[in-house]
Amino acid sequence: MAAPPARCPDCPRPERGGGGATPAVPHLAIAVDEGDVLPGALRIVRRLRPAWDPATVKTKLFTDGITNKLVACYTDEGMGDALLVRVYGRKTELLVDRETELRNFQVLRAHGCAPDLYCAFQNGLCYQFLPGIALGPDHVRDPHIFRLVAREMARVHAIHANGSLPRPILWQKMHKYLSLVKTELSPKVSNASSAAGEALHDPQVLQGWRCSGGSLQPKSLRSPRG
């Protein structure tokens, strides 16, 4: 992996605070328009890489995301110096705690499980681009590759932020999501989501269900070894 570029004198300084293995990340007072991300992304690049000639900066917009907008900015044809600017989707902060996400990013980076984080801005993050390919069905069937994936997943799940044990948040997130959904949909759907949200707090309901593979299933359907 190439060494990160030397810090430039004009780059924003980290905010005070933080400490330990997760130093505070620089924050830029820039908001990027999610409907037109390139102008805002280039403003961020000018702050982080003032030595770059704006006329030589290339961009690549990634379109696979569901809610976030992601654009790479670079000058090297091989994208070896690329910065990724990620713009949060509108109102996603209602469900995703962005401060916690930022702390988790820093913790993962400190353990070598995430790319370098260059800055945060008002509605997104800017971080290092790591070249690679998305794994497909053939890849994950390869014993060598799926063992590497399992090893990396084990590394991530072995990390305990600030020495504390992780806590399950599945029910909390589902309840929050349903609470948000019922304010946006028709009354008929709202009533159904409200009832579902109340069920998440009913121990008698939860006793008859288990979580399997990310979905809820009646306990009567579990396998003999479940």
| Mean pLDDT for the chain overall | 78
- Report pLDDT digits (tens) over 67-122: 899 999 999 988 999 999 999 998 888 888 899 899 889 989 999 999 999 999 99
Q: What is the CATH number of domain 27-128?
A: 3.30.200
Q: For 83-92, 117-126, 135-144, 210-219, which range has the lowest pLDDT when averaged over its residues?
A: 210-219
Percent of the chain with pLDDT over 90: 45
User: How confident is the model at residue 194, as a pLDDT?
Assistant: 55
Specify whether the CB–CB gap between 28 and 119 falls below 8 A: yes
Domain spans of the chain, in order of start:
27-128, 133-166, 170-221
pTM higher than the cut 0.75: no
| Three-class secondary structure assignment of 170-202 | HHHHHHHHHHHHCCCCCHHHHHHHHHHHHHCCC
Q: For 16-25, 55-64, 139-148, which range has the lowest pLDDT when averaged over its residues?
A: 16-25
Q: How far is CA 90 from CA 94, 104, 123, 188, in A?
A: 9, 21, 9, 25
Rounded CA Rg of the chain: 21
